[in-house]
Amino acid sequence: MSQYVLKIDCSDEKGLIYKISNVIFNNDLNIEKNSEFVDEESQKFFFRARVVGNLDIDEMRKQLSAVLPNDAQVYLGVRRAKNVVLMATKESHCLGDILLKYQSGELNANIQAVISNHDSLRALTEKFDIPYFYVSAENLERSAHEEKILTLLAEFNPDFVVLAKYMRILSADFVKPYEGKIINIHHSFLPAFIGANPYKQAHKRGVKIIGATAHFVNNDLDEGPIIAQDVIHVNHEYSWRDMQKAGRNVEKVVLSNAIDLAFEDRIFVNNNKTIIF
């Protein structure tokens, strides 16, 4: 008996739950868990189920397509560990947290490699017996540097690329072949601060809340569909270094939550928003 994940999004219409359930029943499968949602604005239906049994995936896809609206997007696959490449620069907190969870078996993932534009995190990565690739950006145009990384990624063909505080802006040409597969983490403040040392800027403004946002990367910097967010309260007693430490802790938690959702196939993207089951 195998575990499968079924995801469907399509135009909403009457009887969809019945039709989907009937196909599942006719294939002698058992539903362990299912969730559904209708977005009233777009009139789109979203469905996810975890099912158990033995099936012919292609045949079941055909059966579902025959009873669903013409615009239906159907994903059906064996629940498995996702192949993942991590990208980092110099900050170790997010990368280290992911590597520790990986070592302890907490991630439904196979980390294939770490790629960085600095050599700073090699020793940390190699403690976990994971290949580390240093791709220097020195004296290279962005396009040339990205081409080297894309060549590496093509060798691994990962399901997801996780930017564990990778601090270089990615071009549209880089993002395009991995659309919906690149996950980023960044600080998010109220108000927002950009540029060097945002925590020092936040401290000078006397902010009361700091936080982090994990999102899919698209062509607009930090404006891709949001997967997970969290905030914590701070006060006047925090130095900017205290804020930085607290903020990095939030970043670790938010990124960890986001990649868990992605690796378990629990995310739908609807325009620039996410539906998460």
Active site residues: 222
Q: Which of 151, 212, 143 is nearest to 183 (CA)?
A: 212
C-alpha 188/C-alpha 177 separation (Å) is 27
Check if the beta carbon of residue 5 is closer than 8 Å to that of residue 76. yes
Q: Which long-range CB contacts under 8 A does 115-119 form with residues at least 24 apart?
A: 115/85, 115/86, 115/87, 115/88, 115/149, 115/152, 115/153, 116/87, 116/88, 116/89, 116/166, 117/89, 117/145, 117/166, 117/167, 117/168, 118/89, 118/90
C-alpha 184/C-alpha 171 separation (Å) is 14
Q: Does residue 76 sit in helix, strand or coil?
A: strand
C-alpha 123/C-alpha 99 separation (Å) is 12
Peptide bond into 177 cis (omega under 30): no
- Exposure b/e, 58-84, CB count within 10 A at least 16 = b: eebeebbeeebeeebebebeeebebeb
